[in-house]
Structure 1
Amino acid sequence: MTDIDADVIVVGAGIAGLRCAAALRRRGFTVRVVEAADAPGGRIRTDVVDGFRCDRGFQLLNPSYPAVKRHVDVSALDLRVAGRGVRIVDDSGRAHTVADPTRHPRLLLGTVRSAARLGLLHPGAVVGAARWAVPAVGPVRRLAASPDAALADDWDRVGLRGPLRSALLAPFLSGVLADGVGDTSDRYVRLVLRSFLLATPGVPNRGMQAFPEQLARDAGVDIAYSSRVEQVTDGAAPAVRIADGAVLRARAVVVATDARGANDLTDTRTSPMRGLSTWWFEADAAESDEFLRISGTGGVVVNTAEMSSIAPGYAPTGKTLVQATTLLDDAGPAEEPVVRAVLDRLWGRSTASWRVIVRHDVRHALPVQAPGTSLRRSLRVGDRVLLAGDHRDTPSIQGALVSGGRAAAEVAWLLG
Structure 2
Amino acid sequence: MLEPAYQADVVIVGAGVAGLSAAHRLTCAGVTTVVLEAAPCAGGRMSTEKVDGFRLDRVGQLLSTAYPELRSTPGLDGLVLRPFAPGVLLHSDGRHHRAGTPVNTGGARGALHAVRALASAPRSPAASKGRGAPRQTPASRGWGEAERVAAPRSRGVHRPGAASRSRGAPGSVGASGAARTAPRGTAPLGTAVDQARLGSALSRIAGTPVERLLARPEQPAGQALAARGVPARTIDGFLRPLLAALLCDPELSTSSRCADLALRAFARGRLCVPEGGAEVLPELLARTLPPGTVHTGVRVTSVSTTSVTTAEHGEIRCRAVLLATDARAAAELLPGLRVPEFHPVTVVHHTTDEPPGTGASLLLDADRGGPVAHTAVVSRVDPSRAPAGRTLVSSTVLGPPPPDLDTAVRMHLSRLYGTSTRRWETLAVHHAAEAVPAMRPPHDLRRPVRLLAGLYVCGDHRDTSTVQGALHSGHRASAAILRDLGVTGAARAADPLPAPRAA
- Considering the TM-score relative to the shorter chain, is it more than 0.5? yes
- In structure 2, the partner of 1:256 is 324
- In structure 2, the partner of 1:90 is 92
Deviations 1:197-238 (A, max 9, x none): 111121232112111111112232511111122222x24x2x
Distance 1:185 1:136, change over 3 A: farther
Deviations 1:139-192 (A, max 9, x none): 111111221110111122123234322122211211221112111011111111
Query: C-alpha displacement at 1:24, in angstroms?
Result: 1.0
User: Are the equivalent residues in 2 in contact too, given 1:150–1:371 (CA < 8 A)?
Assistant: yes
After TM superposition, the structure 1 = structure 2 runs for residues 106-121 of structure 1, keeping only pairs within 5 Å, are 110=162, 115-121=184-190
Q: The residue matched to 2:99 in structure 1 has which SS?
A: strand
User: Are the equivalent residues in 1 in contact too, given 2:205–2:267 (CA < 8 A)?
Assistant: no
Identity of aligned residues (%): 34
Query: Aligned partners of 2:17, 2:485: CA distance in 1, in Å?
Result: 23
User: Are the equivalent residues in 2 in contact too, given 1:273–1:363 (CA < 8 A)?
Assistant: yes
Query: C-alpha displacement at 1:2, in angstroms?
Result: 4.3
Query: Aligned partners of 2:195, 2:441: CA distance in 1, in Å?
Result: 24
Deviations 1:307-340 (A, max 9, x none): 11111101000001000100133x7776221111
- In structure 1, the partner of 2:391 is 320
User: Are the equivalent residues in 1 in contact too, given 2:71–2:77 (CA < 8 A)?
Assistant: no
User: Are the equivalent residues in 2 in contact too, given 1:143–1:187 (CA < 8 A)?
Assistant: yes
Query: C-alpha displacement at 1:47, in angstroms?
Result: 1.0
Deviations 1:88-122 (A, max 9, x none): 2224x332333648795897554896553225243
Moved more, 122-131 or 49-58: 122-131
Query: Aligned partners of 2:184, 2:345: CA distance in 1, in Å?
Result: 29
Name the aligned partner's letter for residue 392 of structure 1: R
- In structure 2, the partner of 1:352 is 422
After TM superposition, the structure 1 = structure 2 runs for residues 21-170 of structure 1, keeping only pairs within 5 Å, are 21-71=23-73, 76-91=78-93, 93-98=94-99, 100=101, 104=155, 110=162, 115-122=184-191, 125=194, 129=198, 133=202, 134-135=204-205, 137-170=207-240
After TM superposition, the structure 1 = structure 2 runs for residues 250-329 of structure 1, keeping only pairs within 5 Å, are 250-267=318-335, 268-288=337-357, 289-298=359-368, 299-329=370-400
Query: Aligned partners of 1:73, 1:63: CA distance in 2, in Å?
Result: 17
After TM superposition, the structure 1 = structure 2 runs for residues 3-22 of structure 1, keeping only pairs within 5 Å, are 3-22=5-24
User: Are the equivalent residues in 1 in contact too, given 2:219–2:441 (CA < 8 A)?
Assistant: yes
Moved more, 69-78 or 28-37: 69-78
Moved more, 375-384 or 254-263: 375-384
Distance 1:103 1:364, change over 3 A: farther
Deviations 1:41-76 (A, max 9, x none): 111111111100001122233221111111267673
Moved more, 137-146 or 341-350: 137-146
- In structure 1, the partner of 2:302 is 231
Deviations 1:255-278 (A, max 9, x none): 001111111111211322212100
Q: The residue matched to 1:381 in structure 2 has which SS?
A: strand
Distance 1:270 1:383, change over 3 A: farther
Query: Aligned partners of 1:269, 1:209: CA distance in 2, in Å?
Result: 27
User: Are the equivalent residues in 2 in contact too, given 1:132–1:155 (CA < 8 A)?
Assistant: no
Distance 1:30 1:72, change over 3 A: closer
Name the aligned partner's letter for residue 323 of structure 2: V
User: Are the equivalent residues in 1 in contact too, given 2:188–2:366 (CA < 8 A)?
Assistant: no
Distance 1:124 1:182, change over 3 A: farther
Query: Aligned partners of 2:76, 2:9: CA distance in 1, in Å?
Result: 31
Query: Aligned partners of 1:130, 1:99: CA distance in 2, in Å?
Result: 7
User: Are the equivalent residues in 2 in contact too, given 1:205–1:313 (CA < 8 A)?
Assistant: yes
TM-score (normalised: structure 2): 0.76
Which residue of 443, 446, 450 maps to 1:380?
450
Distance 1:270 1:247, change over 3 A: same
Distance 1:119 1:180, change over 3 A: closer
- In structure 1, the partner of 2:136 is none
Distance 1:165 1:214, change over 3 A: same
Query: C-alpha displacement at 1:376, in angstroms?
Result: 0.7
Name the aligned partner's letter for residue 319 of structure 2: R
Name the aligned partner's letter for residue 327 of structure 2: A
Query: Aligned partners of 2:49, 2:26: CA distance in 1, in Å?
Result: 30
Query: Aligned partners of 2:35, 2:342: CA distance in 1, in Å?
Result: 24
Name the aligned partner's letter for residue 60 of structure 2: F
Query: Aligned partners of 2:380, 2:390: CA distance in 1, in Å?
Result: 10
Gaps of 5+ in 2: 102-151, 163-170, 172-180, 487-503
Query: Aligned partners of 1:301, 1:69: CA distance in 2, in Å?
Result: 31
- In structure 2, the partner of 1:198 is 268
Indicate yes or no: 2:471 matched with 1:406: no
Q: The residue matched to 1:165 in structure 2 has which SS?
A: helix
Query: C-alpha displacement at 1:388, in angstroms?
Result: 0.8
Name the aligned partner's letter for residue 353 of structure 2: D
Indicate yes or no: 2:318 matched with 1:240: no
The root-mean-square deviation of aligned C-alpha atoms, in Å, is: 2.6
Query: Aligned partners of 1:198, 1:343: CA distance in 2, in Å?
Result: 29
Instruction: Answer with 1 or 2: which has the greater Rg.
Output: 2
Query: C-alpha displacement at 1:17, in angstroms?
Result: 0.3
Distance 1:226 1:180, change over 3 A: same
Query: Aligned partners of 1:263, 1:113: CA distance in 2, in Å?
Result: 50
Gaps of 5+ in 1: none
Query: Aligned partners of 1:139, 1:380: CA distance in 2, in Å?
Result: 26
Query: Aligned partners of 1:185, 1:105: CA distance in 2, in Å?
Result: 27
Q: The residue matched to 2:308 in structure 1 has which SS?
A: strand
